[in-house]
A and B are shown apart, each in its own frame.
Chain A
C-alpha cells in the first residue's frame, strides 16, 4: 500500500498537476477562440527553457525564475496571435489549427537554436525526501502540487469574480451574443492568451523540475493535454484541470503491478495512456465529463 502511494499515487498527482495546468489553458483558448492550439506544448517548452536560462545565469532559485518563464510565453503567445492567428480568425478553424502547427515548429526551432538538443536539468540540490509515516515525498513535489492548486484557485477567482472573467465565460458560451452585448472581444482574447501563457509557463517549469528539459518536452505533453481537456469537456477550464489530474494518475498507475508482480502496462508504453483515454472519451462520452462543447 505504501509502495503504491510512494511510487504511483504521488508521482501521478504531480504529473496530473502539470497536465492540469497545461490543459486548462488549452481549454480556455478553445472556449474563447474555438480552435485547438497545437503550439501549446512548445509554448510550455519555451517557458521552461527561459526559466532555465534565468535561473542559471542570474543564480536565482527555480521558483523565482517562474516570472521569467511567463515573461517569455506571454509575448510569444500575443505576438503569434497578432501576426498569424488574428488575420485568420475569420477563416475556417482548421486553418488556424494549421497555422498553430507552424508556430509550434517555429518555437521548437528557436529552442533548438538557443539551447541545443541535449537535455538539461534545473540546478537543484540533492535533498532526501520528506518522510511522513512511511510516505516519502520530495519537497519539490509538494510545491508543485501546491503551486498548481494555487494557480487553479486564482483562475477560479478571475473567472467567477471579475468582469473580465465573466466576459471570457460569456464569449465561450456564445461569441455572437457576447459581441452584441458589448463585450470587448479583442481584449478578452488578449486576456485569454495571457492567462493561458502564464499557466503553461508554470507547467513548463514544473515539468522541467520534475524531470528534465528537452526541446521536445512540450510536444510530448501536447497529446496528454488535449486528452485531458477533451476528457473534462473541451472549453471547460475546471473540467480540463480535473481531466489533467485523472490523466496523470492514470499514466502513473498504468504500470502498477496489480497481477503477479507484472506491471499492467510496460512503462515504455506509458505515453500511450493519453491516446487510450482520448479514444475512450471520443467513443463513450464525446462531450466530456463536464459537458464541453462538441
Chain B
C-alpha cells in the first residue's frame, strides 16, 4: 500500500513539474510563436541555482547558503530568465528559426559549464544532498506533502498563465504571432513583446528545474537530457494544444502517463531487450509527434480565439 502511494506521489509530482515546463513553453511557442529548442538549458540553470542555494556546504562546489526553498525557487526562475535576456535580445530581432538555433546553443553552453566548472557546479559529480521540502515528515507523508506543494505551485502558475493569456498583453502576443505588421500598425512593439514572453516562459522553466532537483535531491550534468526535458515537453504541448493553457496541462499529464507506463512496460522485459525497448519508445514518441502534427495540429484541446479562454 505504502509502495503504491509512493509510486503515485512520484508520478503525480513529475506530472505537475512537466505541466509547469509545458506552460512555460506555451507562453513562448503557443502564445507568441517563439521556438525554444533549448528548454534543457533554462531548466538546468534553474535547477543548479536552486540546488546551490539550498544544498548543504560541500568541498566540491560553492554552496551551503542554507537558503529556504521558498526563496530559492523564485531565484531559480529569475536566473533562467536572466539567461534568456541576452540571447533573446539578439536572436528575437531576426527570423523565428534563428531563435530555435540559438537556444540549442544555449543548452550546449549550459551543459559545458555544468560539466567543466567544478568549483561552481561540482563538475561531473554534480550537487548532492539537496533538501526536499517536507522530507522531515517521513515516508510517505513527506512525499505526499511535497506533491501537494508542487501541485499548488502549478495551480498558481496556471492562474498566472491564464491571466497572461487573457490580458491585453496576451492578446498583443497573439497579434504579434499571427500578424506582426498589423500589430505594429496598432502601435505594438513586437520585439519587446516577444522578449517579455520569452523571459516569462524561461522563468517557468527555471522554476520547474528547481522543483525537479528538490524532488530528485540531486543535479548533475547528465541528470537532465534533451530527450526527456526539451523534446518531451514539446510533444506534450503539441499533443495538448499549443496556445491553450488547459491544453498544455492536459498534454503534459496525458503524455507523462503514456511515457511512464511505457517505461514500466519496457522495464518488465529482460536485460538487453529493456534497453532496446527504450529506443523503440523514443522512435514511437517521434512518430506520435508527426501523427499529431499531420492529423490534429490543434492538439487535444485547441486554442480558442475570440472569447476569453476557460
B-contacting residues of A (Cβ < 8 Å)? 35-36, 38, 83-84, 87-88, 91, 93-95, 97-99, 101-103, 105-106, 108-110, 112-113, 219, 222-223, 226-227, 230, 266, 268-269, 271-272, 274-275, 278-279, 282-283, 286, 294
Smallest beta-carbon distance B244→chain A, Å = 17
Q: Is the beta-carbon distance between A109 and B280 smaller than 8 angstroms?
A: yes
Contacts A87-B294, A93-B97, A113-B276 hold; do A106 and B286 have CB atoms under 8 A apart? Answer: yes
Q: Is the beta-carbon distance between A282 and B104 smaller than 8 angstroms?
A: no
B175 within 8 Å of A by Cβ?
no
Of residues 218 through 248 on chain B, the ones whose CB sits less than 8 Å from some CB of chain A are: 226-227, 231, 234-235, 238
Q: Pick the contact of A94 from B33, B283, B287 — CB < 8 Å? A: B33
B189 within 8 Å of A by Cβ?
no
A-B contacts, 11 listed (Cβ < 8 Å)? A95-B293, A95-B297, A97-B100, A99-B290, A103-B290, A105-B231, A109-B280, A268-B116, A271-B108, A279-B90, A282-B94
Closest to A226 in B: B101
Q: Is the beta-carbon distance between B101 and A94 smaller than 8 angstroms?
A: no
Smallest beta-carbon distance A13→chain B, Å = 23
Q: Is the beta-carbon distance between A283 and B90 smaller than 8 angstroms?
A: yes
Within 8 Å CB of A103, what residues of B? Answer: 286, 290
Closest to B91 in A: A282
Q: Is the beta-carbon distance between A272 and B87 smaller than 8 angstroms?
A: no
Q: Is the beta-carbon distance between A279 and B87 smaller than 8 angstroms?
A: yes
Q: Pick the contact of A38 from B37, B98, B289 — CB < 8 Å? A: B37
Task: Give Cα distance in the complex from A93 to B99, angstroms.
Answer: 13
B43 within 8 Å of A by Cβ?
no
Interface of A is mostly: helix
B182 within 8 Å of A by Cβ?
no
Q: Pick the contact of A282 from B90, B100, B115, B227 — CB < 8 Å? A: B90
Q: Is the beta-carbon distance between A278 and B105 smaller than 8 angstroms?
A: yes
Task: Give Cα distance in the complex from A135 to B105, angstroms.
Answer: 35
Closest to A91 in B: B297
Q: Is the beta-carbon distance between A84 and B294 smaller than 8 angstroms?
A: yes
Q: Is the beta-carbon distance between B109 and A275 smaller than 8 angstroms?
A: yes
B96 within 8 Å of A by Cβ?
yes
B85 within 8 Å of A by Cβ?
no
Smallest beta-carbon distance A94→chain B, Å = 6
Q: Please indicate which of the listed interface residues B93, B287, B290 has the most CB atoms of chain A within 10 Å of its own CB.
A: B290
Q: Is the beta-carbon distance between A84 and B290 smaller than 8 angstroms?
A: yes
Smallest beta-carbon distance B218→chain A, Å = 22
B51 within 8 Å of A by Cβ?
no
Task: Give Cα distance in the complex from A80 to B276, angstroms.
Answer: 23
Task: Give Cα distance in the complex from A278 to B103, angstroms.
Answer: 11
B254 within 8 Å of A by Cβ?
no
Task: Give Cα distance in the complex from A266 to B245, angstroms.
Answer: 43
